[in-house]
Copies of this chain bind each other. A is one copy, B any other.
Amino acid sequence: MRQFGEIEGVYPGQIFANRAELAKSGIHPPNQAGISGSIIEGADSIVLSGGYEDDQDYGDRILYTGAGGRDEKTKQQIADQELTGKNLALAKSKLYQLPVRVTRSHKHKSEYSPDEGYCYAGLYIVEDYWCERGISGHYIWRYSLVSCELAGLDKQNDTKELDKPPGYKETERKVVLVKRIVRDTTKARRVKEWHGYKCQVCGMALETSAGLYAEAAHIQPLGMPHSGPDDESNILCLCPNHHVLFDNGGFTINEDMSLNGIDGHLITNRKHKIDIRFITYHQEHYQQLK
Which A residues are within 8 Å of any B CB, using their own CB?
A: 56, 58, 60-61, 63, 80, 82-83, 94-95, 128, 130-132, 139, 142, 144, 150-153, 155-156, 158-159, 204, 206-210, 213, 221, 224-225, 239-241, 243-245, 247-250, 284-286, 288-289
Instruction: Say whether A132 contacts B83, CB under 8 Å.
Output: no
Q: Which chain B positions have C-beta within 8 A of A61?
A: 159, 224
Residue of B nearest to A288 (CB): B209
Q: Which chain B positions have C-beta within 8 A of A144?
A: 224-225
Once the chains are docked, how many angstroms separate the CA of A224 from the CA of B57?
A: 12
Contact of A83 with B130 at beta-carbon distance under 8 Å, contacts A155-B150, A248-B213 already known: no
Q: Which chain B positions have C-beta within 8 A of A286?
A: 130-131, 209
Q: Which chain B positions have C-beta within 8 A of A155?
A: 150-152
Q: Which chain B positions have C-beta within 8 A of A151?
A: 152, 155
Once the chains are docked, how many angstroms separate the CA of A244 from the CA of B210?
A: 12
Once the chains are docked, how many angstroms separate the CA of A61 from the CA of B132?
A: 44
Contact of A210 with B248 at beta-carbon distance under 8 Å, contacts A132-B285, A156-B152, A239-B241 already known: yes
Q: Which chain B positions have C-beta within 8 A of A285?
A: 130-132
Once the chains are docked, how many angstroms separate the CA of A102 from the CA of B94?
A: 35
Counting every copy of the chain, the complex holds 2
Once the chains are docked, how many angstroms separate the CA of A226 from the CA of B204?
A: 31
Residue of B nearest to A221 (CB): B128
Instruction: Say whether A289 contacts B139, CB under 8 Å.
Output: yes
Q: Which chain B positions have C-beta within 8 A of A94?
A: 248
Known: A207-B250, A208-B248; 4 extra A-B contacts, CB below 8 A, are A56-B225, A144-B225, A208-B250, A240-B241
22 CB-based A-B contacts, threshold 8 Å: A61-B224, A83-B249, A94-B248, A95-B248, A130-B286, A131-B289, A132-B285, A139-B289, A142-B225, A144-B225, A152-B152, A152-B156, A206-B245, A208-B244, A208-B245, A208-B248, A209-B250, A210-B249, A239-B241, A240-B240, A240-B243, A240-B244
Shortest Cβ distance from A80 into chain B, in angstroms?
7
Q: Which chain B positions have C-beta within 8 A of A130?
A: 285-286
Instruction: Say whether A289 contacts B60, CB under 8 Å.
Output: no
Instruction: Say whether A150 contacts B159, CB under 8 Å.
Output: yes
Once the chains are docked, how many angstroms separate the CA of A142 from the CA of B226?
A: 12
Once the chains are docked, how many angstroms separate the CA of A215 from the CA of B58?
A: 30
Residue of B nearest to A56 (CB): B225
Once the chains are docked, how many angstroms separate the CA of A118 from the CA of B130?
A: 50
Shortest Cβ distance from A94 into chain B, in angstroms?
8
Instruction: Say whether B80 contacts A289, CB under 8 Å.
Output: yes
Contact among B156, B159, B208 with A60 in the assembled complex (CB-CB below 8 Å): B159
Shortest Cβ distance from A280 into chain B, in angstroms?
13
Contact among B132, B156, B204, B249 with A208 in the assembled complex (CB-CB below 8 Å): B249
Once the chains are docked, how many angstroms separate the CA of A156 from the CA of B153?
A: 11
